[in-house]
């Protein structure tokens, strides 16, 4: 597995969720975690998951933001990676995920600097974590905790403040 491409795709995907949740439902966002013992739909061991309190129909835009995040980060999106999001949107919103993509795009477009700064930080942290995790023996890998934080809500808030500060400085000049 090429860690760099995996990180780029998954980082952009999760960053889409995070930015939309942060701007629309901040009280639901807890952070981003790596779950080393879970399996992705493609069978790969270990998944990244945006940690939240229970989602509602209002959060369908944040779920659809994964598509927008991937499109911005990679120029395309990987349909198998969004299957969980598709299922959750149908369950919560009673319509296909595509019905929420334009609203998700508007949220990310309004917060593009925040998205870029956060995506950079998340990808760096994902890369460091995966480089470590994939260097472990099978026995040591089995000893990993079920949930490993990648980025916390307080770190996300700091990145948002950084984006706001950069924009304010730019406007003043």
**What's the pLDDT at 1?**
56
CA Rg, the chain, in Å? 16
Domain extent, residue 96, equals 3-172
Q: Look at residue 80 and tell me whether its pLDDT is greater than 70.
A: yes
| Separation of CA 104 from chain center | 13
Rounded CA separation 32/34 (Å): 7
Q: Where do we find the tokens 């860690």?
A: 3
Q: Read out DSSP for 58-114? A: GGHHHHHHHHHHHHHHHSS--GGGGHHHHHHHHHHHSS-GGGGHHHHHHHHHHTHHH
Q: What pTM value is reported for the model?
A: 0.93
Give the total number of structural domains in the chain. 1
Report the first-to-last Cα separation within the chain, whole angstroms.
Answer: 45
* Burial call 12-29: b when 16+ CB within 10 Å, e when fewer: bbbbbbbbbbbbbbeebb
- CA dihedral of residues 69, 79, 48, 22 (deg, nearest 10): 30
Q: What pLDDT digit, counting tens, does each position of 28-70 carry? A: 999 999 999 998 776 778 899 999 999 999 999 999 999 999 9
DSSP state of 78: -
């Amino acid at each position: 597995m090429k860690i760099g491409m995996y990180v780029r795709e998954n980082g952009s995907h999760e960053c889409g969720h995070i930015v939309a949740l942060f701007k629309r439902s901040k009280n639901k966002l807890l952070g981003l975690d790596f779950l080393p013992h879970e399996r992705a739909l493609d069978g790969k061991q270990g998944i990244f998951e945006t940690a939240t309190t229970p989602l509602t129909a209002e959060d369908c835009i944040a779920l659809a933001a994964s598509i927008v995040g991937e499109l911005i980060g990679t120029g395309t999106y990987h349909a198998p990676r969004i299957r969980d999001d598709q299922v959750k949107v149908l369950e919560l919103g009673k319509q296909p995920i595509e019905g929420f993509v334009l609203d998700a795009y508007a949220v990310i477009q309004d917060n593009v600097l925040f998205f870029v700064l956060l995506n950079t930080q998340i990808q760096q942290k994902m890369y460091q974590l995966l480089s470590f995790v994939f260097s472990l023996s099978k026995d040591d890998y089995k000893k990993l905790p079920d949930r490993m934080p990648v980025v916390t809500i307080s770190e996300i808030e700091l990145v948002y403040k950084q984006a706001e500060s950069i924009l304010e400085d730019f406007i003043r000049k």
